[in-house]
Protein backbone atom coordinates (compact mmCIF):
# COMPACT_ATOMS: atom_id res chain seq x y z
CA UNK A 1 0.00 0.00 0.00
CA UNK A 2 2.82 2.36 0.90
CA UNK A 3 4.31 1.95 -2.59
CA UNK A 4 1.05 3.00 -4.14
CA UNK A 5 0.54 6.02 -1.90
CA UNK A 6 4.06 7.35 -2.00
CA UNK A 7 5.13 9.14 -4.10
CA UNK A 8 1.49 10.09 -3.93
CA UNK A 9 0.85 11.41 -7.42
CA UNK A 10 2.22 9.05 -10.02
CA UNK A 11 1.60 5.59 -8.57
CA UNK A 12 -1.84 6.55 -7.38
CA UNK A 13 -2.65 7.82 -10.85
CA UNK A 14 -1.45 4.65 -12.53
CA UNK A 15 -3.30 2.24 -10.20
CA UNK A 16 -6.39 4.20 -9.20
CA UNK A 17 -6.87 7.04 -11.69
CA UNK A 18 -10.54 7.51 -10.74
CA UNK A 19 -9.50 8.12 -7.12
CA UNK A 20 -7.24 10.94 -8.29
CA UNK A 21 -9.98 12.51 -10.37
CA UNK A 22 -12.29 12.27 -7.34
CA UNK A 23 -9.53 13.92 -5.27
CA UNK A 24 -9.49 16.79 -7.78
CA UNK A 25 -13.23 17.21 -7.24
CA UNK A 26 -12.92 16.96 -3.45
CA UNK A 27 -10.15 19.58 -3.42
CA UNK A 28 -12.32 21.90 -5.53
CA UNK A 29 -15.28 21.42 -3.16
CA UNK A 30 -13.12 22.10 -0.11
CA UNK A 31 -11.73 25.25 -1.67
CA UNK A 32 -15.25 26.32 -2.62
CA UNK A 33 -16.04 26.57 1.10
CA UNK A 34 -13.44 29.35 1.24
CA UNK A 35 -15.33 31.30 -1.43
CA UNK A 36 -18.72 30.69 0.17
CA UNK A 37 -17.45 31.78 3.60
CA UNK A 38 -15.89 34.94 2.20
CA UNK A 39 -18.92 35.61 0.03
CA UNK A 40 -21.21 35.54 3.07
CA UNK A 41 -18.82 37.81 5.00
CA UNK A 42 -18.99 40.50 2.29
CA UNK B 1 -3.83 48.73 -15.82
CA UNK B 2 -2.40 45.58 -17.39
CA UNK B 3 -2.61 45.53 -21.18
CA UNK B 4 -1.19 42.85 -23.45
CA UNK B 5 -0.64 43.46 -27.15
CA UNK B 6 -1.60 40.95 -29.84
CA UNK B 7 2.05 40.29 -30.72
CA UNK B 8 2.87 39.58 -27.07
CA UNK B 9 -0.13 37.25 -26.84
CA UNK B 10 1.08 35.42 -29.96
CA UNK B 11 4.57 34.96 -28.51
CA UNK B 12 3.26 33.94 -25.09
CA UNK B 13 0.98 31.22 -26.50
CA UNK B 14 3.74 30.03 -28.84
CA UNK B 15 6.18 29.49 -25.95
CA UNK B 16 3.44 27.92 -23.84
CA UNK B 17 2.50 25.42 -26.55
CA UNK B 18 6.11 24.48 -27.22
CA UNK B 19 6.61 24.06 -23.46
CA UNK B 20 8.02 20.73 -22.42
CA UNK B 21 6.87 19.15 -25.71
CA UNK B 22 9.92 20.51 -27.48
CA UNK B 23 12.22 18.16 -25.58
CA UNK B 24 10.06 15.07 -24.91
CA UNK B 25 9.07 14.65 -28.56
CA UNK B 26 5.58 15.18 -29.88
CA UNK B 27 3.56 12.10 -30.93
CA UNK B 28 6.64 9.90 -30.73
CA UNK B 29 4.39 6.83 -30.40
CA UNK B 30 3.56 7.21 -34.10
CA UNK B 31 7.21 6.57 -35.01
CA UNK B 32 8.19 7.75 -38.49
CA UNK B 33 4.64 9.07 -39.06
CA UNK B 34 4.82 11.46 -36.10
CA UNK B 35 4.95 14.43 -38.48
CA UNK B 36 1.58 13.45 -40.01
CA UNK B 37 0.28 13.00 -36.49
CA UNK B 38 1.45 16.51 -35.60
CA UNK B 39 -0.25 18.04 -38.64
CA UNK B 40 -3.55 16.31 -37.84
CA UNK B 41 -3.30 17.28 -34.15
CA UNK B 42 -2.70 20.88 -35.21
CA UNK B 43 -5.94 20.88 -37.22
CA UNK B 44 -7.94 19.42 -34.32
CA UNK B 45 -6.11 21.66 -31.84
CA UNK B 46 -7.08 24.73 -33.89
CA UNK B 47 -10.76 23.65 -33.68
CA UNK B 48 -10.43 23.23 -29.92
CA UNK B 49 -8.80 26.63 -29.44
CA UNK B 50 -11.51 28.12 -31.67
CA UNK B 51 -14.12 26.67 -29.28
CA UNK B 52 -12.33 28.35 -26.35
CA UNK B 53 -12.28 31.68 -28.19
CA UNK B 54 -16.01 31.39 -29.00
CA UNK B 55 -16.67 30.92 -25.27
CA UNK B 56 -14.44 33.90 -24.53
CA UNK B 57 -16.41 36.09 -26.94
CA UNK B 58 -19.74 34.92 -25.51
CA UNK B 59 -18.51 35.79 -22.00
CA UNK B 60 -16.85 39.03 -23.03
CA UNK B 61 -14.43 40.49 -20.50
CA UNK B 62 -14.62 37.58 -18.04
CA UNK B 63 -11.79 35.26 -17.00
CA UNK B 64 -12.18 31.47 -17.20
CA UNK B 65 -12.89 31.18 -13.46
CA UNK B 66 -15.54 33.91 -13.72
CA UNK B 67 -17.43 32.13 -16.51
CA UNK B 68 -18.90 29.45 -14.26
CA UNK B 69 -20.21 31.54 -11.33
CA UNK B 70 -21.65 33.98 -13.91
CA UNK B 71 -23.55 31.19 -15.71
CA UNK B 72 -24.38 28.65 -13.02
CA UNK B 73 -24.51 30.75 -9.84
CA UNK B 74 -22.36 30.54 -6.75
CA UNK B 75 -23.26 27.02 -5.55
CA UNK B 76 -22.62 25.18 -8.84
CA UNK B 77 -20.29 27.58 -10.62
CA UNK B 78 -17.78 28.14 -7.82
CA UNK B 79 -16.76 24.46 -7.37
CA UNK B 80 -16.33 24.13 -11.17
CA UNK B 81 -14.16 27.25 -11.19
CA UNK B 82 -12.03 25.85 -8.35
CA UNK B 83 -11.57 22.66 -10.40
CA UNK B 84 -9.66 24.74 -12.92
CA UNK B 85 -7.50 26.21 -10.19
CA UNK B 86 -6.66 22.64 -9.06
CA UNK B 87 -5.95 21.65 -12.67
CA UNK B 88 -3.56 24.57 -13.24
CA UNK B 89 -1.87 23.92 -9.94
CA UNK B 90 -1.38 20.23 -10.73
CA UNK B 91 -0.08 21.03 -14.23
CA UNK B 92 2.38 23.59 -12.80
CA UNK B 93 3.66 20.93 -10.39
CA UNK B 94 4.01 18.42 -13.24
CA UNK B 95 6.25 20.90 -15.05
CA UNK B 96 8.48 21.11 -11.97
CA UNK B 97 8.65 17.29 -11.97
CA UNK B 98 9.52 17.29 -15.72
CA UNK B 99 12.34 19.65 -14.98
CA UNK B 100 13.55 17.63 -12.00
CA UNK B 101 14.18 14.54 -14.13
CA UNK B 102 15.49 16.35 -17.21
CA UNK B 103 18.07 18.44 -15.39
CA UNK B 104 19.38 15.43 -13.47
CA UNK B 105 19.52 13.10 -16.46
CA UNK B 106 21.03 15.47 -19.00
CA UNK B 107 22.72 18.45 -17.49
CA UNK B 108 23.63 18.32 -13.81
CA UNK B 109 23.69 14.68 -12.64
CA UNK B 110 25.48 15.35 -9.34
CA UNK B 111 23.70 18.53 -8.30
CA UNK B 112 20.83 17.95 -5.83
CA UNK B 113 17.59 18.35 -7.72
CA UNK B 114 15.95 20.38 -4.93
CA UNK B 115 18.67 23.05 -5.31
CA UNK B 116 18.26 23.41 -9.08
CA UNK B 117 14.49 23.48 -8.78
CA UNK B 118 14.63 25.99 -5.92
CA UNK B 119 16.68 28.35 -8.11
CA UNK B 120 14.24 27.89 -10.98
CA UNK B 121 11.30 28.49 -8.69
CA UNK B 122 12.91 31.65 -7.28
CA UNK B 123 13.14 33.11 -10.79
CA UNK B 124 9.51 32.13 -11.43
CA UNK B 125 8.45 33.80 -8.17
CA UNK B 126 10.38 36.94 -9.16
CA UNK B 127 8.46 36.90 -12.44
CA UNK B 128 5.16 36.50 -10.58
CA UNK B 129 5.99 39.56 -8.49
CA UNK B 130 6.73 41.54 -11.66
CA UNK B 131 3.35 40.80 -13.17
CA UNK B 132 1.85 39.13 -16.21
CA UNK B 133 2.59 42.07 -18.52
CA UNK B 134 6.34 41.66 -17.98
CA UNK B 135 6.15 37.94 -18.78
CA UNK B 136 4.33 38.61 -22.07
CA UNK B 137 6.81 41.39 -22.91
CA UNK B 138 9.76 39.05 -22.33
CA UNK B 139 8.08 36.46 -24.56
CA UNK B 140 7.85 39.12 -27.26
CA UNK B 141 11.60 39.77 -26.97
CA UNK B 142 12.69 36.12 -26.78
CA UNK B 143 10.62 34.60 -29.61
CA UNK B 144 12.75 36.11 -32.45
CA UNK B 145 15.96 34.98 -30.66
CA UNK B 146 14.72 31.43 -30.11
CA UNK B 147 13.47 31.27 -33.72
CA UNK B 148 16.91 32.35 -34.97
CA UNK B 149 18.56 29.62 -32.86
CA UNK B 150 16.04 27.12 -34.19
CA UNK B 151 16.97 28.11 -37.76
CA UNK B 152 20.67 27.78 -36.85
CA UNK B 153 20.00 24.29 -35.51
CA UNK B 154 18.38 23.30 -38.85
CA UNK B 155 21.31 24.71 -40.83
CA UNK B 156 23.84 22.85 -38.65
CA UNK B 157 21.90 19.60 -38.97
CA UNK B 158 21.74 19.96 -42.74
CA UNK B 159 25.46 20.70 -42.97
CA UNK B 160 26.52 17.85 -40.70
CA UNK B 161 25.08 15.31 -43.15
CA UNK B 162 23.34 13.21 -40.51
CA UNK B 163 19.88 13.44 -42.05
CA UNK B 164 18.41 10.60 -44.10
CA UNK B 165 15.16 11.38 -45.92
CA UNK B 166 14.54 7.65 -46.50
CA UNK B 167 13.91 7.23 -42.72
CA UNK B 168 10.50 8.78 -43.42
CA UNK B 169 9.51 5.96 -45.79
CA UNK B 170 7.12 4.22 -46.13
CA UNK B 171 4.69 7.00 -45.26
CA UNK B 172 1.87 5.61 -43.08
CA UNK B 173 3.42 2.18 -43.72
CA UNK B 174 1.88 0.70 -40.58
CA UNK B 175 -1.57 2.00 -41.34
CA UNK B 176 -3.55 5.01 -40.16
CA UNK B 177 -4.67 3.34 -36.95
CA UNK B 178 -1.31 4.01 -35.29
CA UNK B 179 -1.47 7.66 -36.37
CA UNK B 180 -5.03 8.20 -35.09
CA UNK B 181 -4.21 6.48 -31.82
CA UNK B 182 -1.55 9.12 -31.20
CA UNK B 183 -3.53 12.08 -32.52
CA UNK B 184 -6.42 11.55 -30.12
CA UNK B 185 -6.38 12.35 -27.29
CA UNK B 186 -2.73 12.82 -26.32
CA UNK B 187 -1.38 15.05 -29.10
CA UNK B 188 -4.49 17.23 -29.29
CA UNK B 189 -4.62 17.72 -25.53
CA UNK B 190 -0.89 17.93 -24.78
CA UNK B 191 -0.18 21.39 -26.14
CA UNK B 192 -3.33 22.68 -27.76
CA UNK B 193 -5.95 21.68 -25.19
CA UNK B 194 -3.84 23.23 -22.45
CA UNK B 195 -4.26 26.61 -24.21
CA UNK B 196 -7.52 26.90 -22.22
CA UNK B 197 -5.29 28.47 -19.55
CA UNK B 198 -5.12 31.61 -21.71
CA UNK B 199 -8.82 32.14 -21.07
CA UNK B 200 -7.47 33.57 -17.77
CA UNK B 201 -5.47 36.20 -19.71
CA UNK B 202 -7.64 37.01 -22.75
CA UNK B 203 -9.57 39.75 -20.90
CA UNK B 204 -6.24 41.59 -20.47
CA UNK B 205 -5.56 41.76 -24.23
CA UNK B 206 -5.96 45.16 -25.89
CA UNK B 207 -8.11 43.97 -28.80
CA UNK B 208 -10.19 40.97 -27.69
CA UNK B 209 -11.90 40.49 -31.06
CA UNK B 210 -8.53 40.00 -32.74
CA UNK B 211 -7.17 38.00 -29.79
CA UNK B 212 -9.39 35.11 -30.89
CA UNK B 213 -7.89 35.15 -34.41
CA UNK B 214 -4.34 35.41 -33.05
CA UNK B 215 -4.90 32.52 -30.63
CA UNK B 216 -6.08 30.23 -33.43
CA UNK B 217 -3.32 31.31 -35.82
CA UNK B 218 -0.62 30.65 -33.23
CA UNK B 219 -1.79 27.01 -33.12
CA UNK B 220 -0.88 26.65 -36.81
CA UNK B 221 2.47 28.33 -36.23
CA UNK B 222 3.18 26.10 -33.26
CA UNK B 223 2.09 23.03 -35.23
CA UNK B 224 4.46 23.99 -38.03
CA UNK B 225 7.34 24.33 -35.54
CA UNK B 226 6.59 20.91 -34.07
CA UNK B 227 6.19 19.27 -37.50
CA UNK B 228 9.57 20.58 -38.66
CA UNK B 229 11.14 19.43 -35.38
CA UNK B 230 9.61 15.98 -35.80
CA UNK B 231 10.84 15.75 -39.40
CA UNK B 232 14.36 16.69 -38.25
CA UNK B 233 14.35 14.12 -35.45
CA UNK B 234 12.97 11.28 -37.57
CA UNK B 235 15.34 11.89 -40.49
CA UNK B 236 18.28 12.09 -38.07
CA UNK B 237 17.56 9.30 -35.58
CA UNK B 238 15.18 7.01 -37.45
CA UNK B 239 12.00 5.47 -36.09
CA UNK B 240 13.57 3.01 -33.61
CA UNK B 241 15.59 5.53 -31.61
CA UNK B 242 12.85 8.17 -31.82
CA UNK B 243 10.25 5.86 -30.30
CA UNK B 244 12.52 4.61 -27.52
CA UNK B 245 14.25 7.85 -26.59
CA UNK B 246 12.82 9.93 -23.73
CA UNK B 247 14.64 13.04 -24.93
CA UNK B 248 14.84 12.69 -28.75
CA UNK B 249 15.66 16.37 -29.34
CA UNK B 250 18.77 16.11 -27.18
CA UNK B 251 19.82 12.86 -28.90
CA UNK B 252 19.44 14.58 -32.27
CA UNK B 253 21.45 17.65 -31.28
CA UNK B 254 24.26 15.44 -29.98
CA UNK B 255 24.71 14.10 -33.53
CA UNK B 256 25.53 17.54 -34.97
CA UNK B 257 29.14 17.61 -36.12
CA UNK B 258 30.33 20.22 -38.57
CA UNK B 259 33.98 19.78 -39.64
CA UNK B 260 34.79 18.05 -36.32
CA UNK B 261 34.64 21.50 -34.78
CA UNK B 262 31.02 22.42 -33.99
CA UNK B 263 29.88 19.55 -31.78
CA UNK B 264 27.96 18.71 -28.57
CA UNK B 265 25.19 21.19 -29.15
CA UNK B 266 22.84 19.59 -26.65
CA UNK B 267 23.21 22.78 -24.58
CA UNK B 268 21.27 24.50 -27.37
CA UNK B 269 18.39 22.06 -26.91
CA UNK B 270 18.47 22.48 -23.16
CA UNK B 271 18.35 26.22 -23.59
CA UNK B 272 15.14 25.87 -25.64
CA UNK B 273 13.78 23.57 -22.98
CA UNK B 274 14.61 25.83 -20.06
CA UNK B 275 13.17 28.92 -21.80
CA UNK B 276 9.91 27.29 -22.90
CA UNK B 277 9.50 25.42 -19.59
CA UNK B 278 10.03 28.63 -17.65
CA UNK B 279 7.29 30.33 -19.65
CA UNK B 280 4.91 27.40 -19.30
CA UNK B 281 5.46 27.21 -15.54
CA UNK B 282 5.11 30.97 -15.12
CA UNK B 283 1.87 31.06 -17.14
CA UNK B 284 0.44 28.21 -15.08
CA UNK B 285 1.45 29.92 -11.83
CA UNK B 286 -0.11 33.18 -13.02
CA UNK B 287 -3.26 31.21 -13.85
CA UNK B 288 -3.29 29.83 -10.28
CA UNK B 289 -2.67 33.25 -8.70
CA UNK B 290 -5.40 34.93 -10.78
CA UNK B 291 -7.88 32.12 -10.07
CA UNK B 292 -7.13 32.15 -6.32
CA UNK B 293 -7.35 35.95 -6.14
CA UNK B 294 -10.68 35.98 -7.92
CA UNK B 295 -12.26 33.01 -6.12
CA UNK B 296 -10.99 33.73 -2.61
CA UNK B 297 -11.50 37.52 -2.87
CA UNK B 298 -7.83 38.25 -2.15
CA UNK B 299 -7.12 41.93 -2.67
CA UNK B 300 -3.37 41.72 -3.06
CA UNK B 301 -1.78 39.10 -5.38
CA UNK B 302 1.56 39.40 -3.62
CA UNK B 303 0.28 37.77 -0.45
CA UNK B 304 -0.49 34.49 -2.22
CA UNK B 305 2.44 34.18 -4.64
CA UNK B 306 5.01 32.73 -2.21
CA UNK B 307 2.66 30.21 -0.49
CA UNK B 308 1.34 28.95 -3.84
CA UNK B 309 4.85 28.64 -5.31
CA UNK B 310 6.13 26.84 -2.20
CA UNK B 311 3.31 24.26 -2.20
CA UNK B 312 3.67 23.74 -5.96
CA UNK B 313 7.42 23.17 -5.49
CA UNK B 314 6.80 20.55 -2.78
CA UNK B 315 4.13 18.80 -4.84
CA UNK B 316 6.33 18.78 -7.95
CA UNK B 317 9.39 17.44 -6.19
CA UNK B 318 7.51 14.60 -4.44
CA UNK B 319 5.23 13.71 -7.32
CA UNK B 320 7.00 10.70 -8.82
CA UNK B 321 9.91 8.37 -8.21
CA UNK B 322 11.25 8.24 -11.74
CA UNK B 323 10.67 9.58 -15.23
CA UNK B 324 8.95 6.37 -16.42
CA UNK B 325 6.10 6.51 -13.90
CA UNK B 326 5.91 10.28 -14.34
CA UNK B 327 5.39 9.90 -18.10
CA UNK B 328 3.05 6.93 -17.63
CA UNK B 329 0.78 8.82 -15.25
CA UNK B 330 0.76 11.88 -17.50
CA UNK B 331 0.40 10.30 -20.91
CA UNK B 332 -1.87 7.36 -20.05
CA UNK B 333 -4.12 8.40 -17.17
CA UNK B 334 -4.12 12.17 -16.73
CA UNK B 335 -5.54 12.88 -20.17
CA UNK B 336 -8.56 10.56 -19.83
CA UNK B 337 -9.46 11.30 -16.23
CA UNK B 338 -8.61 15.00 -15.96
CA UNK B 339 -7.72 16.73 -19.22
CA UNK B 340 -10.56 15.51 -21.44
CA UNK B 341 -13.35 16.21 -18.91
CA UNK B 342 -11.97 19.64 -17.97
CA UNK B 343 -10.57 20.84 -21.27
CA UNK B 344 -13.21 19.48 -23.65
CA UNK B 345 -16.16 18.15 -21.62
CA UNK B 346 -16.97 21.21 -19.51
CA UNK B 347 -16.27 23.80 -22.28
CA UNK B 348 -18.56 21.90 -24.69
CA UNK B 349 -21.28 21.70 -22.03
CA UNK B 350 -20.82 25.39 -21.28
CA UNK B 351 -21.32 26.46 -24.89
CA UNK B 352 -25.17 26.25 -25.10
CA UNK B 353 -25.55 28.00 -21.71
CA UNK B 354 -23.18 30.80 -22.70
CA UNK B 355 -24.88 31.19 -26.07
CA UNK B 356 -28.34 31.35 -24.47
CA UNK B 357 -27.19 33.94 -21.93
CA UNK B 358 -25.51 36.07 -24.57
CA UNK B 359 -28.70 35.91 -26.72
CA UNK B 360 -30.81 36.97 -23.75
CA UNK B 361 -28.49 39.90 -23.03
CA UNK B 362 -28.67 41.01 -26.68
CA UNK B 363 -32.46 40.80 -26.67
CA UNK B 364 -32.49 42.80 -23.43
CA UNK B 365 -30.44 45.62 -24.89
Between B64 and B264, the higher pLDDT residue: B64
Contact B181, B37 (CB under 8 A): no
Q: Where are the alpha helices (DSSP H) in B186-301?
A: 208-244, 248-254, 266-295
Q: pLDDT tens, B194-205?
A: 999 999 999 999
Mean pLDDT estimate for chain B: 87
Q: Is residue B342 part of a domain?
A: yes
Domain extent, residue B261, equals 6-351
Domain extent, residue A18, equals 2-41
Highest mean pLDDT among B11-15, B95-99, B185-189: B11-15
Q: pLDDT tens, B292-330?
A: 999 988 888 888 999 999 999 988 888 888 888 888 887
Contact B304, B293 (CB under 8 A): yes
The answer to whether residue B214 scores a pLDDT higher than 90 is: yes
The answer to whether residue A3 scores a pLDDT higher than 50 is: yes
Tell me how close the Cα of B293 comes to any Cα of chain A, in angstroms.
10
Instruction: Tell me if ipTM is over 0.90.
Output: no
Q: Does B321 touch chain A if contact means CB atoms closer than 8 Å? A: yes
Q: Which of B75, B83, B296 sits opposite A28 (nearest CB)?
A: B83
Torsion region of B61: left, alpha or beta (phi above 0 gives left; psi -120 to 50 gives alpha): left
Structural domains of chain B, count = 1
Q: Does B88 touch chain A if contact means CB atoms closer than 8 Å? A: no
A36:B87 CB<8 A:
no
Distance of alpha carbon A8 from alpha carbon B93, whole angstroms: 13
Q: Is residue B149 part of a domain?
A: yes
In three-state secondary structure terms, B317 is helix
Between B306 and A16, the higher pLDDT residue: B306
Question: In chain B, what residues touch A19 (CB-CB under 8 Å)?
Answer: none
Instruction: Give, as one character, the DSSP assignment of residue B179.
Output: H
Q: Which of A8-12, B17-21, B50-54, B77-81 has the lowest mean pLDDT?
A: A8-12
Distance of alpha carbon B250 from alpha carbon B102, whole angstroms: 10
Between B32 and B88, the higher pLDDT residue: B88
Confidence of residue A1 (pLDDT cuts 50, 70, 90): very low
Q: Which of B56-60, B185-189, B343-347 has the lowest mean pLDDT?
A: B185-189
Q: pLDDT tens, B123-143?
A: 999 999 999 999 999 999 999
Mean pLDDT calculated for residue range B98-122: 87
Distance of alpha carbon A40 from alpha carbon A31, whole angstroms: 15
Between B162 and B210, the higher pLDDT residue: B210
Q: Which residue of B has its CA nearest to A18?
A: B337
Give the other-Cβ count within 10 Å of B310's Cβ: 12
Distance of alpha carbon B42 from alpha carbon B178, whole angstroms: 17
Structural domains of chain A, count = 1
**First CA to last CA distance, chain B:** 28
CATH code at B220?
A: 1.10.4160.10
In three-state secondary structure terms, B205 is strand
In three-state secondary structure terms, B294 is helix
Question: In chain B, what residues touch A35 (CB-CB under 8 Å)?
Answer: 74, 78, 82, 295-297
- φ and ψ of B258, to 5 deg: -105, 115
**Helix%, strand%, coil% for chain A, nearest 5:** 90, 0, 10
Q: Is residue B305 part of a domain?
A: yes
Nearest partner of B189 among B26, B1, B352, judged by Cα: B26
Torsion region of B264: left, alpha or beta (phi above 0 gives left; psi -120 to 50 gives alpha): left
Count the alpha carbons within 13 Å of B25 in the hemisphere toward its beta carbon: 28
Confidence of residue B10 (pLDDT cuts 50, 70, 90): very high
Q: Is residue B363 part of a domain?
A: no
Distance of alpha carbon B64 from alpha carbon B200, whole angstroms: 5
The answer to whether residue A2 scores a pLDDT higher than 80 is: no
Amino acid sequence: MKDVLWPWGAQMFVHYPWVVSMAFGAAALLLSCLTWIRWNKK
Amino acid sequence: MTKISLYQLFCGILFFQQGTTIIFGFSSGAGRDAWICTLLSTAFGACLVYLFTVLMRLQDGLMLTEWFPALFGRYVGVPIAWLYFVLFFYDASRIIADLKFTINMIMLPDTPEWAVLAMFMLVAVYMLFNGIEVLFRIAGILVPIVTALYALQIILLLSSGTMHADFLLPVAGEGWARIWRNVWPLSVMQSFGETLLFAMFWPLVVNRRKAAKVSVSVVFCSGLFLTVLNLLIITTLGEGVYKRSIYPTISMLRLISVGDFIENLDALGLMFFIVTTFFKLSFYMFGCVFAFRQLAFVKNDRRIIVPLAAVSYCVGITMSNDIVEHIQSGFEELQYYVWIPLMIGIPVLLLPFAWKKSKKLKEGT
